[in-house]
Structure 1
Amino acid sequence: MSRLKRVLIVVTVVVAVIALALGGGALWLYSDAKVSTVGSTEFDNELSVPPLAKSTVTSDGTRVFDLTMQAGEKEFRAGKKTPTWGFNGDYLGPTLRAARGEKVAVKVRNKLGEASTVHWHGMHLPAKMDGGPHQMVAPGATWRPHWKVDQPAATLWYHPHPHGKTEKHVQRGLAGMFLLDDAAADRLALPKKYGVDDLPVIVQDVRFDGSKFDHGHKMMQDTGFLGDRTMVNGTLDPYKEVGDELVRLRLLNGSTARIYDFGFSDDREFALIGTDGGLLEKAARMDRIRLSPGERAEIVVHMKPGERTVLRSFPHDSFGDFWQKRFAGGDDSFDVLQLRAKKTLRDSPELPGALGELEVPDGSDSVRGRFFGLLTSGINGKKMAMDRIDETVTRGTAETWTVRNEHSTPHNFHVHDVQFRVLEVDGKQPPPSLRGAKDTVFVPAHATVKLAMRFEGPADPDTPYMYHCHLLYHEDLGMMGQFVVVEKGEKAGKVRTPHSHAGH
């Protein structure tokens, strides 16, 4: 009995030590997962503003841009060079700008060591010009998409979309804004001097030691890459001196997995004037705006002479359980960009009472509904297959899509080619931040959203558009599907094997 007692004591001690070690390890992982740069950001680098892309206009009125995907090096910190990718430079790309009604063409050259694509996120255009995984551009090759701009003024963007590699390509720096103008927006008294009182704000999170990016995924994180600091337009610790009373910030969540809850350090209100697809019907006052990867928001902030305020991302509780909130970034906070007002500011006119009319359907003329269940393993139980058409829609018709997040991991949902109206969030009217035209929407754990959209074509039964989670790690795992637009009575064709373009 004495020997048995000693054995039991030893076993008990060993089990207790293991339990304490596991518990301590779990506690350390949980504590270490929380990130904050609030109060520690120096704001010692002037914000870089991407240049407006040069263009030429051909005899038939087509505006032509040139974009080159290339590898390079950038000194994010003086004296330390980081390998990067960019468009027409070492990191990110220029801002393309065109007007409604214009014909545009882009000469896309690939000088990388591997194939990639350029997707025009938020743009209505033919499927063959969309830049999804079926329009790969081989190393050394050139792709020439062209289309006519036929949508309202908006803040869009462009980025790669190679199947299985999108997260890596975007992280390395391949992204840029594409701004659309129209006559109605031009007439409005809004801040519109690019780089002065109208600022592009591309926010990305990084883990960065001065010589390289670390793109690995931390333990316990199933959302994808999450960094421990942010950059704006490729600038670490950025500030921007402004000289106008009203400043328009075109916010783009260019991160691959992180969800931000933007506001200001002094909790001041701002005016939301636009979402993904363009201007709201009227400005909405608020002090927070949540953006998941790929979403955009245009906000206007009022500045007083000589003051400073910080654009901040606050902790938020839209992740479901406490575990996801901690490990998916819901507890994190970042000081993103400091605005410094000059001692004397130019007067700005008051914001207009009315901004525009939404050109997205309200659900009343939807001819059918569809359901999309979101799981990291796939959509509606299916993993992405390049040769499978998942949905077929008829040109000229509107539909209502119901999208449900079927587990506790955060997701969002992006649909190519169309802008949609959010009709409901969990059976209720959407908040003001979701009442504009959207192409990407956050879908928290176990949440359900209803979306109304119209498919204008052109019809192409053989070339699909994508719908997918825009947390890019999830997209790369296969959380994506394909739809084609057909004429009434026409059936979907057979998807052609993707090939790399040498020209188009």
Structure 2
Amino acid sequence: MSSVSSRPRWLRRLLLSLVALVVLVPATVGGCVTWVYTGAALSTVGTDFRNELAIPPLAEGSLGPDGTRVFDLEMQSGRKEFRPGQPTETWGFNGDYLGPTLRARRGERVEVRVRNRLPEASTVHWHGMHLPAAMDGGPHQMVDAGADWAPHWTVDQPAATLWYHPHPHGKTEQHVRRGLAGMFLLDDDIADSLALPSTYGVDDLPVIVQDVKFDGSRLDNSHKIFRNAGFLGEQILVNGTLTPYREVGDELVRLRLLNASTARIYNFGLDDNRSFALIGTDGGLVERPSMLDRLQLSPGERAEIVVRMRPGERTVLRGNPLDAGLDFWQQRFSGGDDRFDILELRAAAALRPSPELPAALVAPELPDGADSVRERPFDLSMGGINNVPMAMDRIDLTLTRGETETWVLRNVDGVPHNFHIHDVRFRVVSVNDAPPPPPLAGAKDTVFVGPNSTVRVAVRFDGPADPDTPYMYHCHLLWHEDQGMMGQFVIVEPGQSAGTAPKHEH
């Protein structure tokens, strides 16, 4: 009798079960991973555009006795019908979702009276604005539920497309995703003198792009498996509108693109691959227009483009698959293979003629790095910046007012990241030791840093000095920020030392 047949029956069954597990478990796991991978890519190409694009109301504020331009913003909860007959719980400024477009001029003194009528504390950060640290609206300027806050400053930067959004430490992603965001447009005499489309809501359109997923009467906040980038939605809102179209009556239409998503990166283009003119980046108008057919924006980045329309035609703004240096895995699970139809432009049968775009726009007001006094490395990973997680009571950097530095941004963990610096506009000096492409040649405050890539930026800290109140630098993929990919710096006068980060109850 063989040794196998002489074993007890229970033992033979156990051995056969173990053999089956060895064979089947890897196959089952592999099959599940394949199924998840295959189903991860999304596409809304072929969307039926049914809803007219909402244009956020333009708030120019009121002038106080001293000439200060005063705005009022109320943070509030509400319900909005993105889908007919299906109200969704939301947050917004002065309404149920998003907020008005604020507008001011260079040289004006502004005040924003913020009222928090939400059930919890939050903040309002003026993304891209040069202003005192105490007015910045970062996590040190929390506004309690039921409380008010009235930051004020003098606008001292060129015309640009900026935006505002919450910045509570550890909760920024969920507060922005609920709908708290809006544009803040700046004007100046130089921009006004240029022959550019400039009638708000007519030939000059705000385009606030967000990805969402609905869960009954709520916005879904969950992160799917393997999504290291953060939340990735399945449908696109533009200015809070699903499947939007916009009828236009001019030959040239200016789109002020804002990626207000919390993690998704968009590779914008038009469905017929026509070229468009890039005229502005985060910090304002560029030196001269560049003709492109693709434009990538990571969360927090903005761009101004001009599209030429022909009478009676339709064209679709589309989000194309990314060409961002992501590996096979990240390309799929960070949304790199997704395709979205975002906004349809419908031209009237007869169009008002538009003047040709100027060949030259605005001379840059940026440091070029030639007078940089030092280089600072910033290694970006999920473990924190330079592997140090954020601490509210620790000042990470002390920077001297008026000095220029070169910051070396390195993505060291293979996950997509970007980098935003509060208060300043910086120049991208190089990307992987090569000159920056046209979309990065203008003034920036947020820049994408792809896996295993290095971006060098020249930045000058013009103040005002405040040794006790920090500004932030962080990844603007907001879940990464919430997980600790953030640090803080103070600006001091030459020879001055940093103080102590303010303590607060949040």
TM range (shorter): over 0.9
2:411 aligns to what? Answer: 405
1:258-313 deviation per Cα after TM superposition (whole angstroms, max 9, x unaligned): 00000000000000000000000000001000000000000000000000010000
For 1:135 and 1:6, the matched residues in 2 are separated by: 66
Question: Does the CA contact (< 8 Å) of 1:54 and 1:65 recur in 2?
Answer: yes
1:462 partner SS: strand
1:38 aligns to what? Answer: 45
- Over 3 Å counting, the alpha-carbon distance change for 1:54 and 1:273 in structure 2 is closer
For 2:260 and 2:145, the matched residues in 1 are separated by: 24
Among 6, 31, 35, the alignment partner of 1:28 is 35
For 1:77 and 1:6, the matched residues in 2 are separated by: 56
Residue 142, structure 1, aligned to residue 148, structure 2: yes
Percent of aligned pairs with the same amino acid:
67
For 2:247 and 2:221, the matched residues in 1 are separated by: 32
For 1:57 and 1:417, the matched residues in 2 are separated by: 25
1:101-142 deviation per Cα after TM superposition (whole angstroms, max 9, x unaligned): 000000000000000000000000000000000000001110
Residue 229, structure 1, aligned to residue 229, structure 2: no
If the length of structure 1 is used for normalisation, what is the TM-score? 0.97
2:370 aligns to what? Answer: 364
Residue type matched to 2:127 in 1? H
After TM superposition, list the pairs within 5 Å mapping 1:290-439 onto structure 2. Answer: 290-439=296-445
- Over 3 Å counting, the alpha-carbon distance change for 1:185 and 1:499 in structure 2 is farther
192-201 or 312-321, larger mean C-alpha shift? 312-321
1:127 aligns to what? Answer: 133
Residue 166, structure 1, aligned to residue 175, structure 2: no
2:459 aligns to what? Answer: 453
2:257 aligns to what? Answer: 251
1:297-350 deviation per Cα after TM superposition (whole angstroms, max 9, x unaligned): 000000000000100000013143100110011011100000000100000000
2:466 partner SS: coil
For 1:83 and 1:321, the matched residues in 2 are separated by: 37
- Over 3 Å counting, the alpha-carbon distance change for 1:319 and 1:219 in structure 2 is farther
2:456 partner SS: strand
Question: Does the CA contact (< 8 Å) of 1:465 and 1:483 recur in 2?
Answer: yes
Residue type matched to 2:111 in 1? A
> How far does residue 355 in structure 1 lie from its aligned partner after superposition?
0.4
Among 286, 305, 309, the alignment partner of 2:292 is 286
Which consecutive residues of structure 1, in runs of 5 or more, have no partner in the other structure?
none
1:13 aligns to what? Answer: 20
For 2:26 and 2:465, the matched residues in 1 are separated by: 61
> How far does residue 10 in structure 1 lie from its aligned partner after superposition?
4.1
Residue type matched to 1:482 in 2? Q
For 1:174 and 1:6, the matched residues in 2 are separated by: 61
Residue type matched to 2:4 in 1? S
Question: Does the CA contact (< 8 Å) of 2:60 and 2:103 recur in 1?
Answer: no
2:77 aligns to what? Answer: 71
For 1:99 and 1:203, the matched residues in 2 are separated by: 25
Among 2, 6, 10, the alignment partner of 2:4 is 2
For 2:237 and 2:25, the matched residues in 1 are separated by: 41
> How far does residue 9 in structure 1 lie from its aligned partner after superposition?
4.6
Residue type matched to 1:115 in 2? A
1:317 partner SS: coil
Question: Does the CA contact (< 8 Å) of 1:384 and 1:478 recur in 2?
Answer: yes
1:152 aligns to what? Answer: 158
Among 262, 274, 277, the alignment partner of 2:280 is 274
For 1:80 and 1:326, the matched residues in 2 are separated by: 31
For 2:212 and 2:188, the matched residues in 1 are separated by: 35
2:494 aligns to what? Answer: 488
- Over 3 Å counting, the alpha-carbon distance change for 1:410 and 1:48 in structure 2 is same
Residue type matched to 1:137 in 2? V
Residue 118, structure 1, aligned to residue 120, structure 2: no
For 2:309 and 2:326, the matched residues in 1 are separated by: 36
Which consecutive residues of structure 2, in runs of 5 or more, have no partner in the other structure?
none
- Over 3 Å counting, the alpha-carbon distance change for 1:499 and 1:146 in structure 2 is farther
> How far does residue 499 in structure 1 lie from its aligned partner after superposition?
5.7
Q: CA RMSD in A?
A: 1.2
Question: Does the CA contact (< 8 Å) of 1:319 and 1:408 recur in 2?
Answer: no
1:242 aligns to what? Answer: 248
Bigger Rg, structure 1 or 2: 2
1:348 partner SS: coil
> How far does residue 211 in structure 1 lie from its aligned partner after superposition?
2.6
2:126 partner SS: strand
> How far does residue 366 in structure 1 lie from its aligned partner after superposition?
1.1
For 2:231 and 2:136, the matched residues in 1 are separated by: 26
1:226 partner SS: coil
